[in-house]
Amino acid sequence: MSKMKRNIIVSIMVIAMVIGRSSASSLVTFIFGDSLTEVGNNNYLQLSLAKSNFPHYGIDFDGGKATGRFTNGRTIGDIISAKLRIPSPPPYLSLSPTDDAILKGVNYASGGAGILNETGLYFIERLSFDDQIKNFEKTKESIKAKIGDEAANKLCNEAVYFIGIGSNDYVNNFLQPFLADGQQYAHDEFVELMISTLGEQLARLYEVGARKMVFHGLGPLGCIPSQRAKSRRGQCLTQVNLWVQQFNSKVQKLIENLNAHLPSSHLTFADTYQAVLDLIDNPTKYGFKVSNTSCCVVDTKLGGLCLPNSKLCSNRSDYVFWDAFHPSDAANAVLAERFFSTVFSQSPSPAPLPSH
Ligand SMILES: *[C@@H]1O[C@H](CO)[C@@H](O)[C@H](O)[C@H]1NC(C)=O
Ligand SMILES: *[C@@H]1O[C@H](CO)[C@@H](O)[C@H](O)[C@H]1NC(C)=O
Ligand SMILES: *[C@@H]1O[C@H](CO)[C@@H](O)[C@H](O)[C@H]1NC(C)=O
């Protein structure tokens, strides 16, 4: 077995253990991230240009309408929630502080968001990871007001935190030639800035009570349609993929470090890079026909989202990508399914966490 494959399986087993402790029906999840996990926060930001609340988004979702998800159907988070038999947590901005729903999990993710505040600047409004953490702090106060300090601390300690962020720091920051960060920093400096910022952010979540955190590594961003369009013959951008892998391996080290220094913390790094790359390299192996361009015919020079007047492919399940950035519902289903079947074939009744 390759080292990479072993790493993936090890991370997945650790996730199984992290999740295994809470009984599934009472599992509370808090979700942080960008457009890959957003379920509608940006619809509440009047000036935000990072929105997907128009056709053809949501065409394959329940009801067939756009919800603010950046895909034709479900996000990976929606599918994982269904498999855990819990509702997919609602967008933070759809809830009032007195809603009982905050006790069952909240989704803070926002399209265009990054680790760095300045990422996605041209979307005018989006909730950066710092903003999302600030909102989680507010949720914690509301939970305390509802159930008292001790129960609130327990709830937050036992919840699972899914965090998937960093793609926009590349796609909508470092890789944009006209933005300051790409000009100001060499990649080595940029990745250090991201890692040190992320370290402070994860420590801040820990301070508020997060213990079980799962950080989703970045996928091969050099192979998404918006990046391929910059190459001469539609191929993956090797340099971008190397940068992303450098980021991933530094996050993995950061997480080992945090686990060693923050008592009772259980952070895990979920490395999905190889799984996504395999889906892109061998689409037919997974029942897809096309992985080098999106189902929705988009103009990558005009943002790359699927606009109401865009043409769609004839069969949306044949395409790995829905628009220039985001996987299709069918691809999300494959990725979530693979993730889960590995969890349960490895470990049908996940071992409890060691207590310490
Ligand atoms: C980013 O913004 C947050 C507020 O949203 C602020 O607390 C933080 O200091 C800012 N970070 C930097 C590096 O400017
Ligand atoms: C995608 O790959 C196919 C063949 O594998 C090729 O014919 C087509 O031109 C490629 N499309 C793009 C946009 O690169
Ligand atoms: C669409 O593609 C999927 C996967 O290739 C296939 O199972 C399905 O039958 C196709 N649907 C239609 C209407 O052709």
Distance 201 CA to ligand 1 centre (A): 11
33 touches 15 (CB < 8 A): no
Which residues, at least 6 apart from 166, have a Cβ–Cβ distance to it below 8 Å?
114, 115, 194, 198, 218, 247, 251
- Residue 349 falls inside a structural domain: no
Q: Which residues line ligand 2 (CB under 6 A)?
A: 234, 292-293
Residue 76 pLDDT exceeds 80? yes
Q: Per-residue pLDDT averaged across 86-99, rounded?
A: 97
Of the residues 34, 169, 271, 323, only one is catalytic, namely: 323
- Residue 348 falls inside a structural domain: no
- Residue 347 falls inside a structural domain: no
- Residue 335 falls inside a structural domain: yes
Distance CA 112, CA 172 (A): 7
Residue 138 pLDDT exceeds 60? yes
Q: How many domains in the chain?
A: 1
Closest ligand to C-alpha of residue 135 is 1
Closest ligand to C-alpha of residue 114 is 1
User: Which atom in ligand 1 lies closest to the alpha carbon of residue 117?
Assistant: 1
Confidence of residue 356 (pLDDT cuts 50, 70, 90): very low
Structural domain that includes position 288: 3-342
* Catalytic residue status for 323: yes
Residue 16 pLDDT exceeds 80? no
- Residue 15 falls inside a structural domain: yes
* Catalytic residue status for 326: yes
Question: Residue 17 has what pLDDT?
Answer: 57
In 3-state terms, what secondary structure has residue 260? Answer: helix
Question: Residue 259 has what pLDDT?
Answer: 98
Distance CA 270, CA 248 (A): 10
Q: Per-residue pLDDT averaged across 118-131, rounded?
A: 96
- Residue 350 falls inside a structural domain: no
pLDDT tens per residue, range 282-314: 999 999 999 999 999 999 888 899 999 999 999
Of the residues 216, 326, 328, 329, only one is catalytic, namely: 326
- Residue 351 falls inside a structural domain: no
Confidence of residue 324 (pLDDT cuts 50, 70, 90): very high
- Residue 355 falls inside a structural domain: no
Pick the range with the lowest mean pLDDT from 132-146, 165-179, 217-231, 326-340: 326-340
Mean pLDDT of the chain: 90
Question: Residue 19 has what pLDDT?
Answer: 61
Distance 203 CA to ligand 1 centre (A): 15
Ligand 3 mutation pick, 315, 316, 319, 329, max ligand atoms within 8 A of CB:
315
* Catalytic residue status for 226: no
Closest CA to 112 of 306, 305, 298: 305
Ligand 1 mutation pick, 115, 116, 130, 136, max ligand atoms within 8 A of CB:
130
Helices and strands, number each (H, E), in the chain: 11, 7
pLDDT tens per residue, range 30-55: 999 999 999 999 999 999 999 999 99
Of the residues 11, 35, 167, 226, only one is catalytic, namely: 35
69 touches 61 (CB < 8 A): yes
Closest ligand to C-alpha of residue 232 is 2
Residue 345 phi/psi, 5-degree rounding, is -75, -30
Q: Give the CATH number of the domain where residue 183 resides.
A: 3.40.50.1110
Which residues, at least 6 apart from 353, have a Cβ–Cβ distance to it below 8 Å?
17, 18, 20, 21, 266
Question: Residue 338 has what pLDDT?
Answer: 72
Pick the range with the lowest mean pLDDT from 121-125, 207-211, 225-229, 351-355: 351-355
Distance 294 CA to ligand 3 centre (A): 16
